[in-house]
Each structure stands twice: as C-alpha cells, then as structure tokens.
Chain A
C-alpha cells in the first residue's frame, strides 16, 4: 500500500519522489504479470501441440452423442452447445427453486431461534449448528445415496396424503392443469391485480397524508386474494385441476416427477443454505437496538405493529447484503451436483471436456456463465438494497 504524502514532497532526488516511485512500481508490477502470463501462454501452446489440440469453439456445433437424464428437450444427436444449454437451464432451475425455498426455511428458523418457546428455540439451534458445521458435499451425498436411493420400491411408495409419493425413482408431486375456464379466471385475476395496485397507491397516499400506518401492502394483498378466490367461485367449473400421480402397473402416471438426483440436490442445498440464512436473519433482527422496540411500544404501537413497522424495516437493511452472498453461494454450490450425477452446467461441461479434450474453452464457458449468474444476482440484490437502504443526510 502506498500512502500518498505529496504534501511533504520537497525537492528530492527523483528516485525518492513518490510520484516517480509509483509509476516505476506499477510498470514493474505489470511487467512481472505480463511475463508470467506470457510464460504460461507459451507453455500452453506447447502443451496443446503435444496433445494435438487447437483452441477453437467450433466443437460446440458438433454432435454431442451423450445422453442427459433430465432437463429441457434434448437428444444425443443434438450439438454440444445444446447440451451445455440444457445444463445451464438445470442449474438455473435448482438455483431459483433453492433460493425461494431456502429463504422460507431460513426466515422461519431464524425467527424460531429468537422464539420465547424453549423447544422451538432449541430445535432451531440444533438444526442450524448441525447443518452449518458439516460439509455440503457430504450432506448432498448423504441425501442422495443414504436417503433417496434407499427409499422403498415403486409399489411400496411413501405416500403423503395420497398427493405426493416418494420412492426409489424420485418424488412425484401433483401438477396443476388448466381447464376451459382457466382463461376467464385469469382475466378476473388481472382485473383484481389492477384494483389491488390502485388500492395500494390509495392507502400509501393516506399513510403519507395522515402520518399513520396505512398497511398498503396488506390491503392490496388482501384484495388480490379476495379477487382470486371470488373469481375461482364465479367461473363455471374449476379453472385448475390437480393432476395427481397414480400408480399404474409398474410406475406412476401423471403429476410431476422429480428425479432422485434433483430431489437430493434441492434438499441438500435448501437445508444447508437455510441454516446460513437463519443466522443472517437472526443477526439482522438482533442488531436492531432494543430501544427501538421499547420506544415503539412506548408510543403505543402494538407488538405486531412494532415488529412490522419499526424492527423489520431496519433489520432488512442489515440482512440484505449477507443474504445476497448466501444466494450467490447457493448458485455456486449447485456445481456440487456433479458428485451425485445431476446434469447441471458444471457436470455437462466436464462431460463435454472429457469427450472433446477442449478443456480451456469449456472452462472459459463455465467460468463466464457462473460469473454472469453472480453478476445478475448481485445486480438485482443491489437494486433492492438501494431501495431499502437508509437515506442519509
């Protein structure tokens, strides 16, 4: 670290002049970096020649010839590029679902750790400590090989209220299927969304004008729910029916099938990240000074209102940045899918690399994809962070 002390520079020999030294130092630094990079490049060229490889991306349009067990439409006859896209979509699917579910788990457990109920507090603490202090990879392999693959066979499936079935081949959940009345219901829903937005603006204005809590979000949500429910009853027949998986012959028909790999991946990621998010949430709530709550109660707010209007908005500000890094971790950690055979981006990338030998471009693709996921998540969360941040004088 160079500390600028220009104020003290008098007439000195030029080799003691900070400005000169700064330039010299940087030139030297860049020279070393360029030399190292050059040496690595020369080595790479020699190494690739020895392996008989050329650096180019046209292998992406060649036929892949390997199967991928799940994901968007793909056959072994498709190109390597298409195979990679399948992997990317699988990563995004696990990542998006994982983010939503781990937030739910994390918020519930984080609040549970602050509960006045001794049992809830204890259970939450045990959960957090156990899942935070063991490696995620171990947890994933455990869920996959010691739980999912040890599930009973198809005919002895574990049934949850006859809606969800779990067996060796994965988890079967019901699928909502739109009927003829669905379009009409969607129109009614759109109308209630518009009305809810109007109500939100109106309540906001009341809040600003009269200086008392307007609960704009709650009112709007309530109206939306009421509109949706009324529409559901008003349209002829039910707009959505559940396609429940049914055992037929040797397998289940209908519903959505989650592969054992996907189920293990999601369980592992959600439980692991949920434990970290719980700590983030707890830390955020605890960091709000006690006086804030006491002052709110002294002003006559009820405990729920104090929580909703005073404590949570301040806690949120502290929670958002570490929560962002947990989301980023979750997406990056989904690369561990390769250990249990879930075809995510990294797994497919490694397969492509093994088949084509093009390790450098494939690694470039993988790194660039992860970097752009990280960048997009960070941008969204930073935008949200700016919205909730304290506006300082």
Chain B
C-alpha cells in the first residue's frame, strides 16, 4: 500500500486524505496504477460499452405499461378489491410496531425519520389511486409516531415495556391472520379464501409462516442432534441429513401429492400444504445453523451452571440458548433470505405467489411476449427485500461484534 503511494509521481505520500482533491490521482490509483490494472480497466470498459447502450435502448423501448396495469395483481393477487384495505391495515399495524420497536431499541432517530419521509414522498409522487396514497402517508406517520412514542415509553417503563412489546409482536401475528383470512360470519372481516391470496402478499405470508414455524422446530432438531440419548440423536440426524440431501421442489411435490395419501381424512388447502413443505425443509437447515451456535458455547458455561445447581432445563433456557442464538443470528437471517427466495418454488406446484402471478399475467394474450419486463420487475421486488435484509444483517453483525474472527 505504502509502496504504491510512493510510486505515484508527486503523490501526497504523507497525507492520503488529500487524494480526493485530485480526481486524476484517484483514477491513476484505482484504475491504472500497475500496468495490468490498466488492461483490466480497458476490458471492463469494453464490456460495459458493449452491454450498457443495448440494455439502455431496450429499456427505453420496452413496454413498461404492463407493470402499472397489473400492479395490484402482482402485489395482492386476486384478493377481493373491496377488501384490499385489510392488507394495507396489516402492513400499517406492522409499521407501527416496527416504529415502536425502533424507538425502544436505541435505533438512530434519523434513520426512522428518513423511512417515514420516504413513505410520505412516495405517497406524494406515486401516480396511484387516492386510497394507496393515503395509506402510504399513514404508513409514514405510523413509523414516525411509533418511533417517538416508543422512545418515550421505553424511558418511562424500562424492561417491562420490552416484554409488552414482545407480546404485542406475538399478538400481531394473530391480528394479521384475522385481517387477511377474515372471520366466518363477520360483517367487517368477511372471510377471504386462501385460493384468492396471491402475489407479493402470498410470498410474504409464506416467508413469515416459514420463519415463525421453522425456527422453534429447527432449535428442537438441533438440540435433538446433540442429545446424549442415542435414539433421539439418530432420529434427528437422519431427518436433518435426509432433508438437506434432497431439493426443496421434491419436498413441495411430496407435500402436495403424498400428504393427501398419508392424511386422507383431512382436506388440507394447497397453501397449507406448501407451508408444511417449506417449514419442514427450512427447519433442517435452521437446525444446522443453530447447532453451529450450540457448539460455540464453551463447556465451562454449562459446567458452571451445573455447579450452581441449575436444572437442565434452566441451563438450556438461561445459559446455553441465549449465547448460541446470539451467535447464529447472522446465519439465521441468511436462512430467512433464502427462504424468501425459495418461496418462489411454490409457483411450480401451482400457487400464485409473486412469480406464479407473473407467469399467469404473461399467459394473458394482452401481455404476450413481455416476459423481460415483468420478470425484471418481479426480480426487483425480490432484490429489494432480500438485499435490505442482508444489509440489515451485516449491520447487526457489526453491532453485535460478530464475524470478527
């Protein structure tokens, strides 16, 4: 590094911060400095020069009108149009909770205000119908309001508030379920059959169910695999290794085709079968992640707890799991990201989640031949979700001081 800096003619050898003042120096150092870097730059520029103008020309000519025309389908599937406010309400409740949590857990205020501001700006700029704008504004308001409320309440009540917040998150799962699924015989929330769920909503529901259900199952499997009892250890190991050895699509097919044979007395909805398949699959991978964390807990911790006279269950709950789960947080988030991407596979077994609904839009003669436009838009949605999750995980990793081995 030093060597290179000295090699720059007239370079500010003792003061690298000054380098920014001379763009030419920056170009020299970052693009041309040893001779092979100049060659690499030339090659990269040639590739860019060949690709970018073509893509640009294509993007200008592309028929993007297919996206706004089908936006509601892509986001909400065939959810009854007069009930769509329930989806918005679900998102709004979660935004409020997120704001509250952000305020409680010493998040930086600026970030949350920016999020709220972006929501408001989107509401002002998006050329959408009036209700969508109003809901976007509400989202921004709830985020910001929840944040400032959360800060104040956290300061006033302390740890008890955090427990209440946890309970609220748990209750929100039931609340969202009621909103989405409805209650039979209710006038406010008439039931919406799962067959008319679809689009991004279905993707997010499948992901959320997969995360919530596979996490405890994965922890149990990981504990089972490390059990001192051979019967349990072997059973868990066999399950984990079998599931990890076969593709998800085969498990989804099995859930669709074989579950009805093994459980003939129960009429399971297609969505539920897919949820079962995703959960069973994801749990095996979760188990391996958690096992890594369990192995990282020093033996002395358990021995010290035993010496203090704690029961096995308490050692597990109070000593082992908190340390293990904290250590595996980043890899668990990674697991959630792949879960989000993997939900696209249910399109193969005929469910209309984001990718499935995109395919069915393209089957409509009105939108024939617009595969590139629609698939790129769908890819953008997936990208936004999983990229933001992965950068949040990286920030979390740094905040926890992990990954510095």
A residues at B contact (CB < 8 Å): 1-5, 22, 25-26, 29-30, 33, 40, 43-44, 46-48, 50-51, 115-120, 123, 129-130, 132-139, 141-142, 145-147, 150, 328, 332-333, 335-336, 338-339, 346, 350, 353, 359-360, 363, 366-367, 370-371, 374-375
Residues on B with C-beta less than 8 A from A116 are 4, 30, 33-34, 37
With the chains together, A328 CA to B224 CA distance in Å? 24
Contact of B262 among A3, A47, A135 (CB under 8 A): A47
B382 at interface (Cβ–Cβ under 8 A)?
A: yes
- Is there an interface contact between B250 and A141, defined as CB atoms closer than 8 Å? no
With the chains together, A22 CA to B312 CA distance in Å? 13
How many whole Å from B35's CB to the nearest CB in chain A?
A: 12
With the chains together, A2 CA to B34 CA distance in Å? 60
- Is there an interface contact between A119 and B41, defined as CB atoms closer than 8 Å? yes
Contact of A371 among B33, B242, B265, B306 (CB under 8 A): B242
Residues on A with C-beta less than 8 A from B90 are none
Residues on A with C-beta less than 8 A from B60 are none
B196 at interface (Cβ–Cβ under 8 A)?
A: no
How many whole Å from A189's CB to the nearest CB in chain B?
A: 32
B85 at interface (Cβ–Cβ under 8 A)?
A: no
16 A-B residue pairings within 8 Å (CB atoms): A1-B226, A29-B231, A29-B235, A43-B261, A116-B34, A120-B40, A123-B44, A133-B390, A137-B344, A138-B355, A138-B382, A146-B371, A332-B246, A335-B247, A360-B258, A360-B261
Contact of A363 among B227, B250, B264, B302 (CB under 8 A): B250
Residues on B with C-beta less than 8 A from A335 are 247, 249-250
How many whole Å from B236's CB to the nearest CB in chain A?
A: 10
Query: Interface extent on B, as a size class?
Result: 35 or more
- Is there an interface contact between B312 and A370, defined as CB atoms closer than 8 Å? no
- Is there an interface contact between B40 and A150, defined as CB atoms closer than 8 Å? no
Residues on A with C-beta less than 8 A from B355 are 135, 137-138, 141
Residues on B with C-beta less than 8 A from A359 are 257-258, 261
How many whole Å from B45's CB to the nearest CB in chain A?
A: 7
B177 at interface (Cβ–Cβ under 8 A)?
A: no
- Is there an interface contact between A33 and B344, defined as CB atoms closer than 8 Å? no
How many whole Å from A98's CB to the nearest CB in chain B?
A: 14
Residues on A with C-beta less than 8 A from B228 are 1-4, 22
State which of B98-106, B151-159, B372-380 sits at the interface with chain A.
Answer: B372-380
Identity of the chain B residue whose Cβ is nearest the Cβ of A130 in the assembled complex: B383
Contact of B306 among A3, A135, A346, A363 (CB under 8 A): A3
With the chains together, A48 CA to B264 CA distance in Å? 10
- Is there an interface contact between A44 and B246, defined as CB atoms closer than 8 Å? no
Residues on A with C-beta less than 8 A from B372 are 142, 146-147, 150
- Is there an interface contact between A43 and B246, defined as CB atoms closer than 8 Å? no
Known contacts A29-B231, A129-B387, A374-B245; 17 additional CB pairs below 8 A are A1-B228, A2-B229, A2-B312, A25-B232, A115-B40, A116-B4, A134-B386, A135-B345, A135-B382, A136-B341, A137-B345, A145-B371, A146-B375, A332-B245, A335-B247, A339-B348, A346-B247
